[in-house]
Amino acid sequence: MLLIPAIDLKDGQCVRLKQGDLKAATVFSDKPGEMAAHWKDQGARRLHIVDLNGAIAGRPKNEPAFKAIMKALGGEIPVQIGGGIRDLDTIERFLDDGATYMVIGTAAVKNPGLLQDACVAFPGHIIVSIDAKDGKVATDGWSKLSGHEVIDLAKKFEDYGVESILYTDIGRDGMLTGVNIEATLKLAESVSVPIIASGGIASLKDIDALCKLEAEGITAAILGRSLYEGHIDFKKAQKRADDFAKK
């Protein structure tokens, strides 16, 4: 199980939200590069970057912060980035700047042709993000609920050739209430591409529960507030996940 620290960017700072509410942002650092270096030093094997302003604006708004992160990492670990990724030119630009994976969310729902084209143009580099509440898919920085069902969309995106599916229960994100195991497992059982779990992971108990389901296709988990508030020690958590895999 790959554990991935998240760095959420708002106005150039590293923040965490509760249920995607930009007004409820807690600032953890104003030096994104230093934060990225910290997680690398803690043994992170990948980072998850979200441009929160970009998700709302529909175009990237924190590129200087992203470049500071890439400089600090020195190409040593892969980075996946999302938030405001709406066209192929933007995808190509970020990949050229060092990103390994591009996370497409809103655009995948509203313009599935873009996702399909991206998977063809950049095979192995496209992660689709499905953000949901009560089984319905949300878009536009989680500000709007669509009528789409999670499973139906996931199967369609799988056919396009996405590298993996990032699934977030937005009702739990940033709330430290525990990951939605049931919904995440249901999704994993419905498709054959890897699932990255996100939203609500609060303790090692959640890590253990996800590790037990790795054989079902849940191969990674994104950690945010639980790390920044000290509920989970990243180094210990990744070792625990690694040890579980050896059993």
Which residue among the candidates 30, 96, 131, 206 is catalytic per the annotation?
131
Read off the pTM: 0.92
Is the pLDDT at 156 greater than 90? The verdict is yes
- The 10s digit of each residue's pLDDT in 216-247 is 999 999 999 899 999 999 999 999 999 998 88
Does residue 89 carry a catalytic annotation? no
Catalytic pick among 8, 51, 169, 206? 8
Q: Is the pLDDT of residue 24 over 60?
A: yes
- Given this model, what pLDDT does residue 224 score? 92
Tell me the percentage of the chain whose pLDDT exceeds 70: 91
206 is a catalytic site residue: no
The string of pLDDT tens digits covering residues 169-199 is: 876 555 556 788 998 999 999 999 999 999 8
Name the band, by pLDDT with cuts 50, 70 and 90, for residue 141: low
CA-to-CA distance for 172 and 18, rounded, in angstroms?
Answer: 8
Is 189 exposed, middle or buried, given 0-12, 13-18 or 19+ CB atoms closer than 10 A?
middle
